[in-house]
Amino acid sequence: MSSGGELSGSDLFVRHPEVESNLLPDQTVLLFQKDTSLAVPVNAEGAAIWKMCDGAHTIDRMVDNLTEIYDQERNRIGQDVRVFLGELVRLGLVDRLPTLR
Amino acid sequence: MAGQDMPSFCVYGFRFRLHTNVNDVQYLMTGLYRDFLTSNLNGSEAEAIIQREREDQFSWRLGEKGGTASTLPHALWNLEAALCETIIRSQRRSIAIHAAIIQVEDSIAILAGRSQAGKTTLSLALARRGLRVAGDDVALVEPETLNVLPIPRCFHVDDRGAALLEAGGPPLPTAWRRFRFIVPNDFGGPVGSSGHPRWLIFMRGPRAGHPMIAAVSQAEMTARLLSECGQGPLSDSETIAVICRLASGASCFALTPGPLGETADAITTLLTQSKRAAG
C-alpha cells in the first residue's frame, strides 16, 4: 500500500475495513474510523466518491461518473476528487492500492 | 433533621431522598426536581445530603462523593452536579448529550455546543421570550425511541450574564439573587412529555457582530453531536447509529452567536415561525 505522492488517474482506492459509513437521508455520510474514534462528515459529492472507493474505480473513472452527475467542468471535478481522496488517505479512511508502473 | 418529611425523587430511574437541616435547600431542590417527586420508595434509594454545620460551613454528600463549602450556593451546586453525574451514570441504555433542550409547544429543539459556548445564557434569554427551557446542560437520548429526556439543572449564571439578561427585561427570579440557584421550573410550567427533536442547533464560535444561522448537513450535525456525547453505556457504533437517526428526523442548523438579544430573537423566530409554517 502506498499513501504518499501525487495521485494519478489510474490510481485505485479501497475503503479501510475499520471505517464505518453511515448514510443519512440528505445523502451525506458520516464516516467513523473505529481505530481512532475519528468521525468525519462527508457531503453528498464526497459520499459518491467514497462509494466508488471499491478497488475497481480508478480516479479517471470516478471523474467520468461524476461528470455525468454534476454540472461542472471535468478539470474542476478531477481536482476536487484528487483533493478529497488525498484527504481520505491522510485520515486513514481509504487505502491507495499499489499500481504497476 | 426531619428525615420523615424530606422529599424523594426518581429522575429517569435514579431514586434519591433529600436530607437537609436547611429549609431553603428543601425548597430549592424540590423546585429543581419538581416533576420527579415520588413516594414510591423501595429502601435502596440514595441519600442526597446538605447540612449546615455552622454559620459559614455547609457539608454535602451523595454516596461516596461529598465535601464542604463556605456558602450554601456552593454546597447546592456541588450536590446538584453530583446528582446529575450520578443520574447519567445510572443509565443502562440512554446516551447523555451536552445540550440545552428548548420546547416549542409539543416540539423540541436541541441546542448543543461546547462548554462556554453560551448555551446557558442563550437558554435563559429564550426562556424570557416565552420558550420553555427544559434543561440547559445535559439531556438523555433513549436509543430505541429517540425520546429526549432533559436533566434539570440549575443555571450557572454569573453577574455579567445576569446583567446581560436583565438588560431591558424584568429581573431574574429571587432565587438567583439569594442563592445563585435558578432552575427551569422558575420560568414556566412543568415540562411536557419528552419527544423527538425537531430542530438540532449547534453553537459554534467565535461570536460575530450579528447572529448567523446556517443549515448544515445531517452528517455534519451528527459529527458535532457526537463530540458532545459522553462515554455512555453503548458501543461507539451503537451511539453513532442513534445520533444518525436523531439527525435524520430533524432540521439541522449551525448558529454563530452574535449579541445576546439578537441571537435569542433569531432563534425564537426560527423555532416559532417554522413551527407555525408547519401548522
- For A42-52, what is each residue's pLDDT tens digit? 999 999 999 99
Same domain, B25 and B45: yes
**End residue of a domain, out of B39, B68, B89:** B89
The Cα diameter of chain A in Å comes to 41
Strands B251-256 and B197-203: parallel
The interface pTM score, or ipTM, of the predicted complex is 0.89
Same domain, B49 and B156: no
| Shortest Cα distance, chain A CAs vs residue B34, angstroms | 38
* Residues from chain A contacting residue B226 (CB–CB below 8 Å): 39
Domains within chain A, CATH numbers bracketed: 12-95 (3.90.930.60)
Would you say residue B187 has pLDDT above 50?
yes
**φ, ψ dihedrals at A41, nearest 5°:** -80, 140
B214 in the same domain as B191: yes
User: Across chain B, where does the E strand assignment appear?
Assistant: 8-11, 14-20, 46-54, 57-62, 65-69, 95-104, 107-112, 132-135, 138-141, 148-151, 197-203, 212-215, 251-256
| Interface residue A17 vs chain B (CB under 8 A) | no
Q: Say yes or no: B42 and B159 in one domain.
A: no
How do residues A72-81 score in pLDDT, each as one tens digit?
999 999 999 9
Last residue within a domain, chosen from B89, B124, B143: B89
- Domain with residue B219: its CATH number is 3.90.228.20
Collapsed DSSP state (helix, strand, coil) of residue B258: coil
Indicate yes or no: CB of A22 within 8 angstroms of CB of B241: yes
Q: How many DSSP H helices and E strands does chain B contain?
A: 8, 13
Q: Does B254 lie in the same domain as B187?
A: yes
pLDDT higher than threshold 90 for residue B169: no
Q: Which of B243, B153, B253, B268 is nearest to A22 (CA)?
A: B243
Q: Please list every residue in chain A whose beta carbon sits closer than 8 Å to the beta carbon of residue B227.
A: 39
Q: Is there a contact between A24 and B241 if contact means CB atoms under 8 Å apart?
A: no
CB contact under 8 A, A39 and B220: no
Backbone angles phi, psi at B162, to 5 degrees: -65, -40
Number of domains in chain B: 2
Q: Both B244 and B133 in a single domain?
A: yes
H-type helices in B128-205, by residue range? 159-166, 174-179
Q: How high is the pLDDT of residue B240?
A: 96
Looking up cell 472507493 gives A53
The model's pLDDT over B196-254, given as tens digits with 9 standing for 90+, comes to 899 999 999 889 999 999 999 999 999 999 999 988 899 999 999 999 999 999 999 99
State how far residue B120 is from chain A, nearest Cα, in angstroms: 27
Cell numbers linked to B73: 450556593
Q: Do the Cβ atoms of B227 and A34 come within 8 Å?
A: no
Cβ contact B217–A26 (<8 Å): yes
| Judgement on whether residues B116 and B147 belong to the same structural domain of the protein | yes
Q: Which domain holds residue B224?
A: 95-277
On whether both B100 and B85 belong to a single domain, the answer is: no
CA distance B80 to B57: 17
Q: Do B65 and B106 belong to one domain?
A: no
- Of B89, B107, B131, the last residue of a domain is B89
> What distance in Å separates the CA atoms of residue A74 and residue A82, rounded to the nearest whole number?
12
Say which residue the cell 436547611 belongs to.
B22
